[in-house]
A and B are shown apart, each in its own frame.
Chain A
């Protein structure tokens, strides 16, 4: 009987692997379909700017950036936000009662004073103490919201939603450097859709290793340090293959909390961000989708493949471990809280395809990998492993990982997603990362995910510790 069970398990794992490979290949094809669609419908940056810049119909946007103890990067961040190239936008910066000099620096630098403000508490957040605006005309787009400490980014974002005055808002992090054309590219999707566009995602990459001047990214480069390098490859895979692929069938499962555009009205009606959630971005998007579907409203979700936002990723193993266990808990939370969407065609392609995909290939994968690994360790001394066959199967998986990395690089090159300083050098670094990733980075991620799941099950209290900021590399450094 044990032998039968052994065979069943082996075949199950093999079938699972094959299914995953087929799914990834389909995803690569879907990302290509998305690219083809964009080729026709998305003109070049100059034309987009030309048409939207001159029109009073171009919708206004509020850019919301919650900040907590960000004195190292806050000025670079606000400058980056104020330097965005868009005809009509406001920057809503939310200070979550920072204990460092964040607030003082902002007041001093931008000459801020308190102003009366019409605040409708449309979504739940900690009380807002005051709203400040600049006396200097140059910073008239800036609105500073000073609020009682909520302890989460979601609470800060909700305060921003309550204060923002535009139909669309973009939520971002203070450590993010945003490409000047980013809002134009995102808003093109909004104005180009006959159906209401409820969310637009954009490619977000790691700023570690890049050079920044006056809040603008002047030199895009992949970091030489291993951790940011692996994360860069991972981000590119996620945005340029997975999210771009899902957007082809209007089934985008996630618009990154680091940089994403939402319809304010629908976000408010769906309750805004959940401050108790570990994956507040996915959670809010799924609630928005649920709201639209439950009210039989048509909607659209889109994705901008060009890199629009650069964020600083964890630079140490400890920070990365914390971030990834938190993400794993978030995933578990999503799977349990939104289970009614699974295999439910009422919720369109998101319910019928994306959510089952997330459950089977993202949620279960680390568990199965861990079981498989322990199984191998148990079988090895008993001689139960056919090494010749195992090497061929492992070889297939390894080569498939390399193929996906090549597809990512190919997509990046074809779309011109990133304006790399030196394409050859950066692609070479990414290829090296892809060669090493299955041996070094991936096992680490699997362990983090399993620990995150265990913590979620044991309901261990999680404390959100923001990553230690290094600040950006300046041009003269």
Chain B
């Protein structure tokens, strides 16, 4: 009560002091023209704003210092235990008692080790930073869930998602997704309908990780179609990978490619198919392979078929090769190399002989070079037959530095070994 009375008195004092200054300045300026009055008002406002900025900086500095100290304390007290929990050495299915022992807590004395919300926020932040920096792919998620429960972090994160500011919601959703925690449906539904794009997307990605339903119909939205970008693909891949690790069935990505209309979004799902080895759905992409329509999509489908060894599509690719734009031709040639059936040899030779684009010619040669013994023989024969003007194409295959880049299997970006790529 005393504090409130003091605060009231203090505010009253400050207000009367400001009133005094304003009336003092006004009385002094009475005889001056308008422009001088305007200048004086602006000057006073500048001084006032500078004072406000200075005070805000002081307050922020105090808050940041307290957070820093708390962070240091948390790292010092629990850092080693957190690292052990994230390592592969931690035993599977640790009980809450074992977790308490690891973190040096006596559950009979202290049933709530972190009492303040600020402590929980810092603990969650420190653990999350370790989680994403320590290559925690081998960490046992069940242990992490138990630990989060012991420290009341799961509850805290849910509270942050429902009541926090936008930034805090984003941070909390990132953590929930990373640990694969489940969240109340009413909170997540609210976020799935949020007007804020970032929150809505994050809510979608969070549901993907733990949803028992693999159809996930909420992806059938125009909203997602019109606003998707590369980051969405990265985040989707991450969420799908976490889902797979949790042992849940992955959705049919070819179906999602059909559901959307924008070419970028369709390409996004086709690329994800090859990253998640969805060979069984390759057949469904034949409807989308319409030469002359959506060239980027055709290119992605060709790559996906190549990587997933969908040999049934080889003839379709060979037939459409000559009518495709240059970038798609390269994708088709790469796919034929990966099939390695021998039927693509003529297409490669044609690619080199009849194309005008130097990039396509070089890539055709590269595919031939990588097309087994038969391909290598054809390459050598072609080199002997080639004119002097074409000699520079072959020079790339003789220099040790450039030769290192000739091998197709070094192209990690297209390889569907999700485990290495995502967790590496």
Interface residues of A (CB under 8 A from B): 11, 14, 18, 21, 39-41, 43, 46-47, 50-52, 54-59, 88, 113, 115-116, 118, 120, 133-135, 188, 190-194, 388-389, 392-393, 395-396, 399-400, 402-403, 406-407, 409-410, 413-414
Contacts and interface: CB of A to CB of B under 8 A. Distances in A.
Given A40-B167, A40-B198, A55-B421, A393 B362 contact: no
B56 interface: yes
B36 A403 contact: no
A191 B229 contact: yes
A256 B164 CA distance: 37
A88 B54 CA distance: 42
Contacts of A41: 198
A40 B234 contact: no
Given A40-B166, A406-B50, A399 B43 contact: yes
Interface string B31-64: 0110110111011001101100110110011000
B133 interface: yes
13 contacts: A46-B129, A46-B133, A50-B133, A52-B234, A191-B234, A192-B229, A192-B230, A392-B43, A396-B39, A399-B42, A403-B49, A406-B53, A413-B61
Contacts of B320: none
Interface string B349-378: 000000000110010000000000000000
A393 B39 contact: yes
B234 A57 contact: yes
Contacts of B36: 388-389, 392-393
Given A56-B414, A406-B53, A14 B35 contact: yes
B33 A54 contact: no
A6 B412 CA distance: 73
Contacts of B61: 413
A435 B394 CA distance: 66
B32 A392 contact: yes
A125 B228 CA distance: 38
Given A57-B271, A403-B46, A135 B401 contact: yes
B293 interface: no
Contacts of A58: 234
A57 B235 CA distance: 11
A406 B166 contact: no
**Interface residue SS majority, chain A:** helix
Listed from nearest, the 6 A-B pairs whose CB atoms lie closest are A396-B39, A191-B230, A399-B46, A403-B46, A50-B132, A56-B413
B262 to A, nearest CB: 9
Given A43-B170, A54-B422, A400 B132 contact: no
Contacts of B32: 388-389, 392
Given A40-B167, A194-B226, A413-B61, 10 more contacts: A51-B238, A54-B238, A54-B422, A55-B234, A113-B401, A115-B399, A115-B401, A190-B230, A193-B229, A402-B46
A389 B35 contact: yes
Nearest to A398: B43
Contact of A118 (B40, B42, B50, B358): B358
A40 B198 CA distance: 7
B54 A47 contact: no
Contacts of A57: 230, 233-234, 237, 271, 413
A352 B38 CA distance: 29
B237 to A, nearest CB: 7
Contacts of A134: 401
Contacts of A14: 35
B61 to A, nearest CB: 8
Given A18-B38, A135-B401, A193-B229, A396 B53 contact: no
A300 to B, nearest CB: 10
Given A43-B170, A191-B231, A54 B424 contact: yes
B46 A407 contact: no
A188 B43 CA distance: 41
A410 B42 contact: no
Interface centre among B33, B35, B412 (most CB of A within 10 A): B35
A402 B50 CA distance: 8
Nearest to B170: A40
Contacts of A393: 35-36, 39
Contacts of A39: 166-167
B56 A46 contact: no
Contact of A116 (B47, B133, B275, B396): B396
B115 interface: no
Contacts of B415: 56
Contacts of B196: 40
Nearest to A390: B36
A190 B271 CA distance: 18
B324 to A, nearest CB: 19
A54 B423 contact: yes
Contacts of A414: 60
Contacts of B392: 116
Nearest to B228: A194
B132 A192 contact: no
B50 A403 contact: yes
Contacts of A116: 392, 395-396, 399, 402
B363 to A, nearest CB: 11
Contacts of A51: 231, 234-235, 238
A407 B196 CA distance: 28
B227 interface: yes
Interface string B313-348: 000000000000000000000000000000000000
A388 B423 CA distance: 70
A18 B39 CA distance: 9
Contacts of A396: 39-40, 42-43, 46
